[in-house]
Amino acid sequence: MPPDSNTRHATIKRNLNRIRERIARAALRAGRDPETVRLVAVTKMVGIEEAGILYGLGIRHLGENRADVARPKIEAMNHPDICWHMIGNIQRRKVRHVVECFQRVDAIDRISLAEALHARCETAGKTMSCLMEVNVSGESSKHGFAPHELDSTLDKLRGLDRLDIEGLLTMAPSHADEIALRRVFRTLRTLAESHGLKTLSMGMTNDFETAIEEGATEIRIGRALYA
């Protein structure tokens, strides 16, 4: 590899090892097996080279927030064992591209989006894995269903047989203290357990250890991998 590529590889490998160590320690503090926590590497801010380095280091779940940006990476890498996650808000006019590019949608935040995805999946002969986004904190700036809407919403979504609802996702408040963070994460865990959903996507670069301690099965890490 050229010198610059060697440097990028070394940086990403070092950062990924540190994150994996922190994941393991957080899981063990909670009496959990670290293998029960999946790392989704957010690659929206980097190119094909960095995504390829992550793949070479064992990462198989990659997150992008725009289909047009993700498509060149997906086509260049072309590995059938990668699960590409759509992690951004989806406009209905972009649904076709999302279904073409991604294996999972993180996350469904409104019924109309679910219906549009289902219709496009039927046309494509495809089933998509999905998470439901829950606005646990109640912040107006965040997307997602209110916790009290979950029962009725799940009933509707489970009637859309081209969508496989794996679990729930939430975004914690940006500047919350630890008590508030734990409250948000525990609420999502309780909601998931009460509805028999196994995947809990919660926790990002600034709060993933707390999220793991509170039951996260999936975390999303971006900038900490590359700096």
Q: Tokens 């998509």 identify what position?
A: 128
pTM over 0.85? The answer is yes
Per-residue HEC secondary structure of 69-122 comes to: HHHHHHHHHCCCCCEEEECCCCCHHHHHHHHHHCCEEEEECCHHHHHHHHHHHH
Contact 203, 178 (CB under 8 A): no
> Worst-scoring range by mean pLDDT, 91-100, 127-136, 141-150, 181-190?
141-150
Q: What is the predicted pLDDT for the residue at 5?
A: 83
Which residues does 102 contact at the CB level (< 8 Å), separation at least 6? Answer: 64, 67, 70, 84, 85, 86, 128
Domain boundaries, the chain: 3-225
What class, spelled out in words, does domain 3-225 have in CATH?
alpha beta
- Give the pLDDT confidence of 108-160 residue by residue, as tens digits: 999 999 999 999 999 999 999 999 999 998 777 788 999 999 999 999 998 99
Q: How many CB atoms lie under 10 A from the CB of residue 89? A: 13
